Amino acid sequence: MSILVDKNTRLLVQGITGNEGLFHTTQMVAYGTNVVGGITPGKGGEWVLEKIPVFDSVKAAKENTDANATIIFVPARFAPDAMFEAADAGIPLIICITEGVAIPDMMRVRNYLDQKNVRLIGPNCPGLLTPGEAKVGIIPGNIAIAGNVGVVSRSGTLTYEVLYAMKNLGMGASTCVGIGGDPVNGTNFVDVLQMFEDDPNTEKVIMIGEIGGNEEEKAAEFIRTKMTKPVASFIAGQTAPPGKRMGHAGAIIEGGSGTAADKIKALEAAGVKVAKHPEEIPTLLK
Amino acid sequence: MSILVDKNTRLLVQGITGNEGLFHTTQMVAYGTNVVGGITPGKGGEWVLEKIPVFDSVKAAKENTDANATIIFVPARFAPDAMFEAADAGIPLIICITEGVAIPDMMRVRNYLDQKNVRLIGPNCPGLLTPGEAKVGIIPGNIAIAGNVGVVSRSGTLTYEVLYAMKNLGMGASTCVGIGGDPVNGTNFVDVLQMFEDDPNTEKVIMIGEIGGNEEEKAAEFIRTKMTKPVASFIAGQTAPPGKRMGHAGAIIEGGSGTAADKIKALEAAGVKVAKHPEEIPTLLK
Amino acid sequence: MKLHEYQSKNIFSKYGIPIPKGRVAATAQEAKQIAEELGGRIVIKSQVLVGGRGKAGGVKLANNPAEAQQLAEQILALEIKGLPVRKVLVDEASAIDQEIYFAITNDRAAKKPVMIASAAGGIDIEEVAAKEPEKIIKIHIDPLLGLREYQARDVAVGIDLPREYWKDFTKIAMALWNVYKETDATLAEINPLVITKEKKLIALDGKMMIDDNALFRQPELAEMRDTDEEVPAEIEARKYGLSYIKLDGNIGCMVNGAGLAMTSMDVIKLFGGEPANFLDVGGGADAKKVAAAMRIILTDKNVEAVLFNIFGGITRCDEVAKGILVAMDEVKPKVPMVVRLVGTNAEEGRKLLENANMITAETLADAAKKAVEAAKKGK
Amino acid sequence: MKLHEYQSKNIFSKYGIPIPKGRVAATAQEAKQIAEELGGRIVIKSQVLVGGRGKAGGVKLANNPAEAQQLAEQILALEIKGLPVRKVLVDEASAIDQEIYFAITNDRAAKKPVMIASAAGGIDIEEVAAKEPEKIIKIHIDPLLGLREYQARDVAVGIDLPREYWKDFTKIAMALWNVYKETDATLAEINPLVITKEKKLIALDGKMMIDDNALFRQPELAEMRDTDEEVPAEIEARKYGLSYIKLDGNIGCMVNGAGLAMTSMDVIKLFGGEPANFLDVGGGADAKKVAAAMRIILTDKNVEAVLFNIFGGITRCDEVAKGILVAMDEVKPKVPMVVRLVGTNAEEGRKLLENANMITAETLADAAKKAVEAAKKGK
Q: Looking at the predicted structure, is the pLDDT value of residue C55 above 90? A: no
For the annotated catalytic residues of C, the residue numbers are 101, 189
pLDDT of residue A250: 67
Which residues in A lie closer than 8 A to residue C150 (C-beta atoms)?
Answer: 41, 57-58, 81-82, 84-85, 88
* Nearest chain A residue (CA) to C164: A42
Residues A148 and A204 in one domain: yes
Do β-strands B69-72 and B93-96 pair in parallel, antiparallel, or remain unpaired? parallel
Cβ D163–B58 below 8 Å, yes or no? Answer: no
Mean pLDDT (whole number) for C117-123: 90
Q: Which of A106, A183, A247 sits opposite D187 (nearest CB)?
A: A247
Question: Is residue A133 one of the residues assigned to a domain?
Answer: no
pLDDT score for B265: 94
By the CB < 8 Å criterion, does C200 face chain A? no
Tell me the CB-side half-sphere exposure of residue D356, using CA atoms within 13 A: 24
Rounded Cα distance between D352 and D334, Å, is 20
pLDDT band at A244, cuts 50/70/90?
low
Same domain, B270 and B190: yes
Judgement on whether residues A152 and A274 belong to the same structural domain of the protein? yes
Rounded-to-10 torsion of CA C359, C362, C368, C372: -30
Do A53 and A183 lie in one domain? The reply is no
State the average pLDDT over residues D277-304: 87
- Give pLDDT tens digits for C123-173: 888 888 889 989 999 999 999 999 999 999 999 999 999 999 999 999 999
pLDDT of residue C217: 95
Partner residue facing D363 (CB), from A140, A211, A279: A279
Residue from B160, B216, B252 whose CB has the most chain C CBs within 10 Å, to mutate: B252
Per-residue pLDDT, averaged over D25-31, amounts to 96
Q: For residues D117 and D161, what is the distance between their CA atoms, to the nearest angstrom?
A: 11
Distance of CA C212 to the CA centre of its chain: 10
Contact status of A210 with chain D (Cβ, < 8 Å): yes
Say if the Cβ atoms of B154 and C130 lie within 8 Å: no
- pLDDT above 60 for D249: yes
Tell me how crowded residue C200 is: count the other CB atoms within 10 A of its CB.
13
Q: Are residues B80 and B161 in the same domain?
A: no
Residues of A in contact with C157 (CB under 8 A): 44, 56-57, 60
Helix (H, G, I), strand (E, B) or coil at C151: helix
Number of structural domains (chain B) is 2
CA distance readout (Å), B245 to A111, B242, C51, C107, C243: 37, 8, 10, 14, 16
Q: For residue A176, list its beta bridge partners.
A: A129, A151
Report the DSSP pairing between strands A173-178 and A146-153. parallel
Own/partner contacts of C126-130, CB < 8 Å, gap of 24 or more, are C126/B248, C126/B251, C126/B252, C128/C101, C129/B248, C129/B251, C129/B252, C129/B255, C130/B255, C130/B256
Measured between alpha carbons, how far is B268 from B144 in angstroms, rounded to an integer?
27
Mutation choice for A interface testing from D217, D262, D316, D372 by most A CBs within 10 A: D262
Q: pLDDT tens across D153-191, in order?
A: 999 999 999 999 999 999 999 999 999 999 999 999 999
Give the end of a domain, one of A65, A89, A121. Answer: A121
In this prediction, residue A230 carries a pLDDT of 97
In chain D, the percentage of residues whose pLDDT exceeds 70 is 99
Nearest to D148 among B41, B59, B81 (CB): B81
CA gap A33, C269 in Å, rounded: 73
So what's the pLDDT on residue B246?
56
C263 to B153: CB separation less than 8 angstroms, yes or no: no
| pLDDT tens digits along A96-155 | 999 899 999 999 999 999 989 899 999 999 999 999 999 999 998 989 999 999 999 998
A78 contacts in chain C (CB < 8 Å): 149
Closest CA to A133 of A48, A28, A206, A204: A28
- Whether C53 and C59 have beta carbons less than 8 Å apart is answered as yes
Statement to judge: residues A157 and A255 lie in one domain: yes
In a domain, A192, yes or no: yes
Asked whether the beta carbons of residue C211 and residue B103 sit closer than 8 angstroms, the reply is: yes
Residue that terminates a domain, selected from A94, A121, A148: A121
Can B24 be counted among the known catalytic residues? no
Reported as a pLDDT band with limits 50, 70 and 90, residue C176 is very high
Which among C100, C105, C108, C231 is the top mutation candidate for probing chain B, defined by the most B β-carbons within 10 Å of its own β-carbon? C108
Q: D3, D53, D106: best mutation site toward chain A, by most A Cβ within 10 Å? A: D106
D217 touches chain C (CB under 8 A): no
Give first-to-last CA distance, chain A, whole Å.
21
**Does the pLDDT value for residue C30 go beyond 90?**
yes
- Check residue C323 and give its pLDDT: 87
In which element (H, E) is residue D341 found? strand D337-343
In a shared domain, residues B151 and B85 = no
What is the number of other CB atoms lying within 10 angstroms of the CB of residue C270?
A: 18
Do B90 and B39 fall within a single domain?
A: yes
Q: Is B129 part of a structural domain of the chain?
A: no
B112 at D interface, C-beta within 8 A: yes
C-alpha span between C102 and C188 (Å, rounded) = 9
Residues of D in contact with B108 (CB under 8 A): 145
pLDDT in tens, A203-214: 999 999 998 888
Q: pLDDT (tens digit, 9 = 90+) per residue, C320-354?
A: 898 889 888 888 888 999 999 988 888 899 899 88
In chain A, which among 213-242 make CB contacts under 8 A with chain D?
Answer: 213-215, 234, 236-241
Count how many pairs of residues, chain C against chain D, have C-beta atoms within 8 Å.
3
Least CB–CB distance from A59: residue in C142, C149, C154: C154
Q: Which of B92, B121, B150 is the C-terminal boundary of a domain?
A: B121
Type of residue at B14? Q
User: Which residues in C lie closer than 8 A to residue D144 (C-beta atoms)?
Assistant: 144-145
Give the DSSP letter of residue A74: S
Contacts of D217 in chain A (CB under 8 A): 77
Residue A134 lies in a domain: no
Residue A161 buriedness (CB in 10 A; 0-12 / 13-18 / 19+): buried
Quote the pLDDT of residue D343: 83
Give the strand order in the sheet containing D359-360. D243-246, D277-280, D251-255, D305-312, D337-343, D359-360
Q: Is residue B6 part of a domain?
A: no
Does the residue B131 lie in any domain? no
- pLDDT value at position C189? 97
Question: Smallest Cβ distance to C116: which of B160, B237, B253?
Answer: B253
Strands C243-246 and C201-203: unpaired
Give pLDDT, residue A256: 58
Chain A residues 11-30 with a CB less than 8 Å from chain C: none
| Residue B235 to residue B216: CA distance in whole angstroms | 9
- Measured CA to CA, the distance from residue C66 to residue C36 in angstroms comes to 9
What are the residue numbers of the active site of A? 248
Predicted local confidence at residue A246, as pLDDT? 56
Candidates A135, A109, A124, A103; CA nearest to A6 is: A135
Residues of chain B with pLDDT under 70: 1, 242-247, 249-257
- Report chain B's C-alpha Rg in angstroms: 19
Residues in chain C with CB shorter than 8 Å from the CB of B234 are 263
ipTM for the whole complex: 0.91
Encode pLDDT of C151-162 as tens digits: 999 999 999 999
Whether a cis peptide bond, with omega within 30° of 0, leads into B131 is no
**pLDDT at residue D130, as a whole number:** 86
Domain enclosing residue A256, as ranges: 139-285
What is the pLDDT at residue B70?
98
Q: Does D165 touch chain B (CB under 8 A)?
A: no
Q: What are residue D206's DSSP bridge partners? A: D190
- pLDDT class of A257 with cuts at 50, 70, 90: low
One domain for residues A196 and A89? no
Q: Which of residues 131-160 of C touch B (CB under 8 A)?
A: 136, 138, 142-144
Are B280 and B248 members of one domain?
yes
Question: Pick from A80, A63, A64, A66: which is nearest to A14 by CA?
Answer: A80
Question: Domain containing A53 — which CATH number?
Answer: 3.40.50.720
The average confidence (pLDDT) of chain D is 92
CB contact under 8 A, B107 and C211: no
pLDDT per residue as tens digits for the range C3-22: 999 999 999 999 999 999 99
Contacts with C107 from chain B: Cβ below 8 Å: 253
pLDDT at D323 over 90: no
Partner-chain contact D266 A102, CB within 8 Å: no
- Catalytic pick among B248, B252, B256, B286: B248
Q: Find the closest chain D residue to A114 by CA distance.
A: D111
- Structural domain contains residue A278: yes
Q: Is the pLDDT of residue A245 over 60?
A: no
pTM of the complete model = 0.92
Q: B99 at the D interface (CB within 8 A)? A: no
Residue of D nearest to C142 (CA): D144
CATH code at position B274 = 3.40.50.261
Average pLDDT on C66-71 reads: 96
Residues A152 and A184 in one domain: yes
Q: Which residues of A touch D255 (CB under 8 A)?
A: 157
Please indicate, yes or no, if residue A262 is contained in any of the structural domains: yes
- pLDDT above 90 for D17: yes
Question: What pLDDT, on the 0 to 100 scale, is given for residue D286?
Answer: 78
User: What is the average pLDDT score of chain C?
Assistant: 92
- For chain D, say whether C217 makes contact (Cβ under 8 Å): no
In chain B, residues 49-68 whose CB comes closer than 8 Å to chain C: none
pLDDT at position D222, please? 93
B168 and B280 in a common domain: yes
CA distance A239 to chain D (A): 5
